[in-house]
Amino acid sequence: MTDRPLQGKAALVTGASRGIGKGIALSFAEAGADLLLSARSMDDLQRTADECAAFGVRAEAIHMDAYDLDQVNAAVDAVTERFGKIDVLVNNAGGSRNVDGGWVGFMESTPTILRELFELNVYSPYFAAQRAAKAMIEQGHGCIVNISSPLAEYPSARIQPYSVAKIAIQEFTKLWAEELGRHGIRVNAIAPGPIQSAQIDKVIAANPAREQAMIDEVPLGRIGQPADVGAAAVFLASDHAEWISGAAILVAGGKRW
C-alpha cells in the first residue's frame, strides 16, 4: 500500500470529535484525504480537524446533530460544496451509551429508547448514505463505510435494541452494495470490538481489575485502539479494496462478543 492511498480523495467522517471517529479521521488525514468532519461537540471536533490538518490536508469541521436529518443532509452536501466532490462517506455517528438507558434488553426497553436507538443508528446513516449516493451516482464512483458492531453478527439478549439496530445497518450495507455497484459505488461495514475510549477509561477507573478481564477476552491480547479501526477504514476507502463491496469486517482482535 502506498504511503498516501487516499491522496486526492474528499471524505466526510461523521461523529469525528473523539473515539473511533477521531481515529478514522486521523488515519484518513495521514493517508492524504481532504476531510469534512461532523459532530455535535464543536470544540472537540475542531481539535480533531486541527490535528488532521497537521498532515498537510484540508480538514474542516461542521456541526451535525445525527438526530436532525436536515443537518445530516447539509453535512453531506457541504463536502461537495467545499471540495467539489465526495469520494467517501464514513457513517460513524451512532452508538448506545449516549442514549439514556440504551444498553438494555427486551423487557427493559421503552418506546423512547427504541426510537432514539434507531434514529441514531439506522435512520441517520441511512439518509446520509442516500444523500451521498445521489452525488456519487452523478460522479460515477464513491465509497460508503458504515460502522457496525460485532453485535450485528452475534446479537445479545441483554442488549437487544442496539443489536438489532446494528443488524439493520449491516444488512443495509449488503443491499446498498448490490443496488449501487452498477454506478461504481462500493459499500462496506466495519464492526469494531472493544476500542479504547472515554467510556472504557471510566469503566477501568471505577474497577481497575476490569482492564485485565477485558484484555483476557480478546484472543490477540489487548484492547483495540481507534487507529485500528482507522486502518481498516483507510483500506476499504482506497483503491486497494476496489473489488470489495457488501462486506463486513470484524476489527476486534479475534473477539466475537
123-146 pLDDT per residue, tens = 999 999 999 999 999 999 999 999
Look at residue 98 in the predicted model and tell me its pLDDT: 59
Indicate the pTM of the whole model: 0.95
- The answer to whether the CB of 8 falls within 8 A of the CB of 19 is no
Which residues are annotated as catalytic? 162
Please, are residues 157 and 105 in contact by the beta-carbon 8 Å criterion? Answer: yes
Residues of the chain with pLDDT under 50: 1
Predicted local confidence at residue 201, as pLDDT? 80
- The set of long-range contacts for 39-42, using a CB threshold of 8 Å and a minimum separation of 24, is 39/14, 39/15, 39/63, 39/64, 39/93, 40/64, 40/65, 40/66, 41/17
> Residue 10's closest CA among 100, 79, 71?
79
Cβ–Cβ < 8 Å for 51, 226? no
* Residue 36 pLDDT: 98
Q: What is the pLDDT of residue 211?
A: 86
